[in-house]
Homo-oligomer: A and B are copies of this chain.
Amino acid sequence: MKPPQIRWGMLGGGPGSLIGIVHRIAAAMGDDYRLVGGVFSADHAKGLEFARDLELDPRRAYPHVDALIAGESALPQEQRMRLVTIATPNYLHYEAAKKLVGAGFHVLCEKPVTVSVAQADELARLVKSRGVVFAVAHTYTGYPMVRQLRAMVAAGMIGAVQKVHVQYYQGWINPILRDPGKRRSVWRLDPKRGGDSSCIGDIGVHCFNLVEYTTGLRVERLLAATDTGTSDNTLDVDGSVLLRLTGNVPGVLCASQIATAEENNLQLAVYGRTGALKWAQEIPQRLEFLQEERPLSVLTAGHAFNAPPARAASKLPPGHPEGFSDAMGNLYRGLGHAINGEPYDSGAFPEIDAGVRGMRFIEAVLQSASTGNHWCTL
């Protein structure tokens, strides 16, 4: 018997928010959630109008997170919001997450979870002490073939990992960087709102997360060089990072937001003793499996012969593309199991530990880059 739908709310993600749409579609995918309210906008009037458009109870369109906590906590348990998605600019994550976790809400937080390692550590402590479920929106882990990759590495199908290559090239910052007017409108390029890093904090951390998620290894040391693109910009918009993983396995992580005209070119290659696995986000339904002395295999999503976590992450038959929202939907599905106390796979969604690791990575990159490109430990 299916458990009751989880009452769910959002911080941010309201009118005009792309990521808000993705979260609502994702939460709808398994019929597991019911949106009941949130703080949809910094402008309360807009938030109210948004709630009206969605035919939500306007009393649950709160002006701020404190009001949300107070309002929801006063409701009978079966009506009460249990999960809150945080989709605000980075600098607001920590305070909101701390309050919500402290009040016993489960949380799905956009990455990076905080703007410092200290905050992330503090949050992780709180999550553990309160016993809530805390997910981090590393959406790419929700793609079926990323889960297939992880399962195949774990099953030893490529042998011990001996080399990792990951790259994430985008070009969207490029035209903004050179236009001061445009630049002011982009919170990611404003250290006050986006944190100390642009490229590494926004996309480099996805690379890092994918490496640890798929290989099961840890990045132990790194050496990084970053670039700000223009002299009047203080945040990194490009970075290359040499990695050493558990057992001294070499890796390289390349990220750029000034890789002109690239769209969302995220690629991962994991090389093992006897084979390799390669995935590219722009055609996410495919996974290349290279083996010595054998032809290339191209696995695709939706097949019965895929590993169980990949199989469970496809809703449609092979050849029917599923995309970014579907990947996010898989995070929500796993999160639903966790919230309902049901068993779930360790790769079902990234938890607070992945958020902490991400912050350590960002901090180490910034430290290496700013201190003469030396090796730093995470």
Shortest distance in angstroms between A292's beta carbon and chain B's nearest beta carbon? 5
Name A240's contact: one of B29, B250, B259 (CB within 8 Å). B250
Supposing A162-B229, A169-B165, A326-B325 touch, asked if A261 and B319 sit within 8 A by C-beta, the answer is: no
CA distance A191 to B325 in the complex (A): 37
Query: Would you list the 3 A-B pairs with minimal beta carbon distance, nearest first?
Result: A263-B319, A264-B319, A261-B290
Partner of A260, one of B172, B258, B272, B298: B272
Contact A321 B282, beta carbon cutoff 8 Å: yes
- The answer to whether B34 touches A55 (Cβ under 8 A) is yes
B297 touches A295 (CB 8 A): yes
Q: Is A318 at the interface (CB under 8 A from chain B)?
A: yes
Interface flags for A258-276 (1: CB within 8 Å of B; 0: not) read: 1111111100010111111
Besides A25-B28, A295-B305, 20 other CB < 8 A contacts? A18-B315, A18-B317, A165-B169, A171-B271, A171-B292, A178-B273, A238-B250, A252-B254, A258-B271, A261-B292, A261-B296, A262-B271, A263-B317, A263-B319, A289-B295, A295-B299, A316-B325, A320-B323, A322-B323, A322-B325
A174 CB contacts on chain B under 8 angstroms: 273, 292
Task: For the complex, give the distance between the alpha carbons of A284 and B284 in Å.
Answer: 12
Chain B residue contacts of A54, Cβ below 8 A: 5, 31
B316-A18 in contact (CB<8A): yes
Interface residues of A in 318-335 (CB under 8 A from B): 318-326
Q: Does A22 interact with chain B (Cβ within 8 Å)?
A: yes
Q: Which of A227, A299, A302, A305 has the most CB of B within 10 A?
A: A227
The answer to whether A254 touches B165, judged by C-beta atoms less than 8 angstroms apart, is yes
A158 and B260 contacting across the interface, CB-CB below 8 Å? yes
Most buried by B among A162, A169, A172, A318: A162
**Min CB gap A297→B, angstroms:** 4
- Within 325-376 of A, Cβ neighbours of B (below 8 Å) are at 325-326, 373, 375
Is B324 a contact partner of A324 (Cβ separation < 8 A)?
A: no
State whether B171 touches A316 (Cβ < 8 A): no
- Partner among B223, B264, B297, B300 whose Cβ is within 8 Å of the Cβ of A263: B300
Q: Which residue of B lies closest to A294 (CB)?
A: B305
Report A128-166 CB contacts with B as 1/0, cut-off 8 Å: 000000000000000000000000000000100011010
